[in-house]
A and B are shown apart, each in its own frame.
Chain A
Amino acid sequence: MLNFLAKRLVQIVPTLFFVSILIFSLQHLLPGDPALVMAGEERDPAVIAQIRAQYHLDQPIPVQYLFWIKGVLSGDFGESLRNKMPVLELIAQKLPVTMQLAGMAIVIAFLIGIPAGIVSAVKKGTAWDYGANLFALWGISTPNFWLGIMLIFLFSIELGWLPASGYVPLTEDWRASIAATIMPAFVLGNAIAAVLMRHTRSAMLQVLESDYVRTARAKGLSERTVILKHAMRNALTPIITLGALELGTLLSGAVLTEQIFSIPGFGKLIVDAVFNRDYAVVQGVVLVTATIYITLNLIADIAYILVNPRLRG
Chain B
Amino acid sequence: MTDTALGTVALAAADDLESPGRRAWRRLMKRKGAVLGLVVIAIFILMAAFAPLIVPYDPIATSWSLVRKAPSGQHWFGTDELGRDVLARVVFGARASLLAGVTSVGIALLVGVPLGLVAGTRGGFIDALISRITDAMLACPFLILAIALAAFLGPSLGNAMIAIGVSATPIFIRLTRGQVMSVKVEDYVEAARAMGNPRWRIALFHILPNILPALLVQATLSIAAAIIAEAALSFLGLGQQPPAPSWGSMLNAAQRFLTSAPWMAIWPGLAIFLVVLSFNLVGDGLRDALDPKAR
Q: Do A and B bind each other?
A: yes
Residues of B within 8 A of A303 (CB): none
Residues of B within 8 A of A186 (CB): none
Residues of chain B at interface, number, CB under 8 A: 45
Q: Per-residue 0/1 for B223-250: is the Cβ within 8 Å of any A Cβ (1 yes, 0 no)?
A: 0100010011001111000000000000
Contacts A256-B232, A293-B139, A294-B139: A270 and B147 contacting too (C-beta < 8 A)? yes
CB A13 to nearest CB in B, in angstroms, measures 9
Q: Per-residue 0/1 for A144-161: is the Cβ within 8 Å of any B Cβ (1 yes, 0 no)?
A: 011001101100010000
Is A63 in the interface zone, CB < 8 Å from B? no
Q: Per-residue 0/1 for A165-192: is the Cβ within 8 Å of any B Cβ (1 yes, 0 no)?
A: 0000000000000000000000000000
In the complex, the answer to whether A143 meets B228 with C-beta atoms within 8 Å is: yes
In the complex, the answer to whether B251 meets A146 with C-beta atoms within 8 Å is: yes
Is A59 in the interface zone, CB < 8 Å from B? no
Q: Per-residue 0/1 for A247-263: is the Cβ within 8 Å of any B Cβ (1 yes, 0 no)?
A: 11101110110011000
A142-B228 Cα distance, complex, nearest whole Å: 9
Is A137 in the interface zone, CB < 8 Å from B? yes
The residues in A between 269 and 285 inclusive whose CB is less than 8 angstroms from any CB of B are 270-271, 273-275, 279, 282-283, 285
Residues of B within 8 A of A249 (CB): 141
Contacts A149-B265, A256-B236: A26 and B258 contacting too (C-beta < 8 A)? no
Residues of A within 8 A of B139 (CB): 15, 19, 290-291, 293-294, 297
Question: How many residue pairs bridge A and B at CB < 8 Å?
Answer: 139
In the complex, the answer to whether B148 meets A19 with C-beta atoms within 8 Å is: no
In the complex, the answer to whether A152 meets B136 with C-beta atoms within 8 Å is: no
In the complex, the answer to whether A286 meets B135 with C-beta atoms within 8 Å is: no
Residue of A nearest to B274 (CB): A141
Residues of A within 8 A of B258 (CB): 149, 152-153, 157
> In the complex, given contacts A146-B269, A253-B143, what are 11 additional A-B residue pairs having Cβ atoms less than 8 angstroms apart?
A21-B136, A146-B273, A149-B269, A152-B258, A157-B262, A249-B141, A252-B143, A270-B147, A282-B151, A286-B148, A293-B141
7 shortest interchain CB distances as A-B pairs:
A146-B269, A18-B136, A252-B143, A141-B277, A248-B141, A290-B139, A274-B151
